[in-house]
Amino acid sequence: MLNRKQKITFCRIIAVLIIFSVLLVLQHTGVITRYAILYYLPPYLLIGYDIIIKAARNITKGSVFDENFLMVIATAGAFVIGEYSEAVAVMLFYQIGELFQGYAVGRSRASIAQMMEIAPEYANVLKDGAITRMDPDDVAIGDTIVVLAGEKIPLDGTVIEGSSHLDTAPLTGESVPRSASAGDKVISGCLNLEGALTIVVEKEYEDSTVARILDLVENAGDKKARTENFITRFAKVYTPVVTAGALLLAFVAPLIFGGGLYGWIRRACVFLIVSCPCALVISVPLGFFGGIGAASRKGIMIKGSSYLEQMTKVTSMVFDKTGTLTKGTFAVSGVYPSAEGGYTEVELLGLAAKLESMSGHPIAVSICTAAGGSSDTDGISDYTEIAGKGITLTLEGKTYGAGNAALLKENGIPVPEEEYYGTTVYIADLDNKTELGAIVISDTVKPEAGSALQALKQNGVKKLILLSGDRKAAAEAVGNELNMDEIYSDLLPGDKVSTLEKLLDEVPQKEYLAYVGDGINDAPVLMRADVGIAMGSLGSDAAIEAADIVLMDDQLTKLTDLFRISRKTMRIVHENIVFSIGVKVLVLILGALGAASMWGAVFADVGVCVIAVLNSMRALKM
């Protein structure tokens, strides 16, 4: 859809096109023979008055050399040498090109502006049994809100009552609705499709997911790519140079090469029309804007075109482990009875669940869950938690322990030599100083991680590197399963930064390194990497703030989409640069030699610009 200003321009174009066509017919049939300027000046002013005003305004501000100035000087020169129809045609087709560019830019902005629709307008706050509609900014942490079917979730929180399905497409690009019920965490910006949900607010609006996304969208244009900055600098130098060239053609060339002043002024006008850098100045930023818009529809938020450009040169990718390559949720991955204990796997797991039934520790909860959710505490006495070691208790007259190797050593029980991947909980009979077996708790690798990393290799990534704070065995288990090229373990946050800096020194010149993480401890590394990529849905606020790119649904497969979009965007941008400069240089040379007409100049300016803009719009279709 066109805005009001564009609609007025469209009406002016139609009116002038009709008048111009009639004037051409009258001129070629001999009806208009004298004072043609009086017939062509009104349609010229009607179609070009805003360009003339812009040029005059910019001159008063000291910004002389822009496309408005070039168009006014060129068409005024055409009037001076009697090329009235050409002057009107140049301004007419320039306005057609401008209208088309405005529409294309509007389409591109609309693809990102759709993200702005996720902003909630209100929150239904439940207090004393009554619902009050409030601005999301005024809702505090701990407040209870009710989200009805068809409403947007205004703030991040946890569902305490109700069940429904949520449309997360505006945030993640995922078309399949996600279920939500009591105990599930939900994020703002999602659309509630079915029943009412009662939610306890866990973040203020300014810290919520939707606020962070809107901030990313609004500031996406701040970080310009090197190519985009080059085009801006190029246009500032290029425009005055070609203006000087036109003046030399008009007034110096006749003195050197001879010939009539009329012919040289005509060449100078052609030269000025061709020289307008509109195709570059419009199509290059539009290409980047289209790429960022395409990525946002896939649930990938890019904070600036510079990062889109850098992604095309990423050849090394470094990953955090927990929450990035793994699910970040712990579960029982192995039950290993000892020969001395005489328990089966089922019996050992049942005993462990009984021992852990009084603890609320995540490890204890995972053991109880694996055993069927046992919470039976009958027969337990003398329950003691030992910080950093485990628990001891008496069960039906026998003393048991459940904990790590330090607990076994403290009670004089030999520690088994077997080393397992994950957190090992040893079960021991403390009365008989016997180790009964081990329960291993581990984080599981994301199901898509293997195929996602393999796809990165196919997309030109030479090195896949794992940085983890976990023990060597745990890090190597995940790294080897995913065929990582290098594995670094037992790293503190500071160690991660120093390790990453060493890896950066190893990256060849003109290539980049990207880091993918989600935790608070990843924030310094995300900032230090050439490109920092954060997991947005489960990632910490610090990681998302520090990152350059955010994957809103934590799917590693989105990394392949990111590579594809960035490379296609840069291919489109480079095509526009080569095509625009190539055609302009050719027609500039022809114009200087007197072999190009005004109509050729119109094509080299407006035609090339329209073609480049059309090419840029392909980025929106990715």
Residues catalogued as catalytic: 320
Tokens 């997991």 -> residue: 535
Q: Dihedral sign for Cα 68, 72, 75, 78, please.
A: negative
- Taking each helix axis as running N to C, give the angle between helix 84-113 and helix 4-28, from 0 to 180 degrees, rounded to the nearest 10: 160
The Cα–Cα gap between 316 and 310 comes to: 12
List, in order, residues 6 or more apart from 19 with CB less than 8 Å away. Answer: 42, 43, 46
Contact 324, 535 (CB under 8 A): yes
Retrieve residue 472's tokens: 């060597």
Phi and psi (nearest 5°) for 207? -105, 0
Number of H helices, E strands in the chain: 22, 22
Residue by residue, DSSP assigns 151-172 as PBP-S-EEEEE--EEEE-HHHH
List, in order, residues 6 or more apart from 369 with CB less than 8 Å away. Answer: 331, 332
Q: Which residues pair with 532 in a beta bridge?
A: 515
DSSP, collapsed to helix, strand or coil, labels residue 344 as: coil
Residue by residue, DSSP assigns 51-77 as HHHHHHHHHHTT---SHHHHHHHHHHH
The Cα–Cα gap between 91 and 598 comes to: 11
Q: How far is CA 427 from the centre of its chain?
A: 48
